[in-house]
Amino acid sequence: MITLTSEELKRVRNPEIALVQKFINVYGGQTALVVDGIWGSLSKSTFILAFVNKNAEAISYAEKLEIAKQLGDTNTKRLEAVAKVESGPDGGWFPSGLPTILFERHKFWQWIGDKSKRVVSWFSNPTPGGYTKDANKNGINDSWEKLADAIGSDPKAALKSISIGEFQVMGVYHLQCGYEHPIEMLWAARNSQRAQYMMLRDYILKVANLKPAFLKLSTNPADCEAFARGYNGGGYKKYDYHNKLAKAMR
């Protein structure tokens, strides 16, 4: 992870915001931002633009097989069944080229460091909801605009509050997924489908302890219940996830 120099730390207003600005400059911003720790409209738009990638690298069969073996499997059938059921209609990227995310406003409310900044807004709320896609019809998914706005209040809390990629693994699990900072996890998801599959692997192995449930997946819905419950929560039956997994296994 990049860091701020001692000279940069002396002059920036907010070090966490400055770190995001520097990250954008180093890894792909179209406009060089002034690393000042002030999050204005240019920082927001450049942040979003930097994450657009319409040529992300697709995962190969060999890479899928490697990940399946790391999960204790001998083939990719279970991994592909999970991908078929758990991946949303956009897959790992929105049509805009931005990696798929879902901003969870209630998680941001929970994780914001300075509680005095808890103000109800479209990106901050103690209750879940507000899952609009493009309410202002500007072609940018609303979760990305919420994320860009939330960074101005608390960058790390904002980046922890997004579900990332094809398998919607939350940024709060960045350490379990091998990333020092959640922005690195989001950047990896921008660049390759393999990285998104690895997030699924790490979620199964290191976060939810779902390896036994994963290896039990079969064409029998009863065998899929443990994984569906662990991955989708107690309401998995309402959305028929166990039956969907069994069908995908066929």
The two tokens of residue 21 are 């600005």
- Report, as an integer, the average pLDDT of 233-240: 95
Torsion of CA 7, 20, 25, 167, to 10 degrees: 150
Q: Residue 164, by phi and psi: left (phi above 0), alpha (psi -120 to 50) or beta?
A: beta
Report the chain's mean pLDDT, rounded to a whole number: 96
Cα(9)–Cα(130) distance, integer angstroms:
36
pLDDT at 161: 98
Cα(221)–Cα(241) distance, integer angstroms:
9
Q: What percent of the chain has pLDDT over 90?
A: 94
Residue 29 has pLDDT above 70, yes or no: no
pLDDT at 90: 86
Cα(31)–Cα(46) distance, integer angstroms:
7
Residue 31 has pLDDT above 80, yes or no: no
- Report, as an integer, the average pLDDT of 162-170: 97
Residue 88 has pLDDT above 90, yes or no: no
Q: Tell me the three-class secondary structure of the chain, residue by residue.
A: CCCCCHHHHHHCCCHHHHHHHHHHHHHCCCCCCCCCCCCCHHHHHHHHHHCCCCCCECCCHHHHHHHHHHCCCCCCHHHHHHHHHHCCCCCCECCCCCECEEECHHHHHHHCCCHHHCCCECCECCCCCCCCCCCCCCCCCHHHHHHHHHHCCCHHHHHHCEEECCCCEEHHHCCCCCCCCHHHHHHHHHHEHHHHHHHHHHHHHHHCCCHHHHHHCCCCHHHHHHHHHHHHCCCCCCCCHHHHHHHHHC
Contact 101, 231 (CB under 8 A): no
Cα(94)–Cα(188) distance, integer angstroms:
15
pLDDT tens for each residue of 5-19: 999 999 999 999 999
pTM: 0.95
pLDDT at 123: 97
pLDDT band at 167 (very low <50, low <70, confident <90, very high): very high
- Distance set, CA 228 to CA 2, 31, 59, 100, 164 (Å): 37, 43, 24, 21, 19
Cα(201)–Cα(71) distance, integer angstroms:
7
pLDDT tens for each residue of 216-229: 999 999 999 999 99
pLDDT at 200: 98
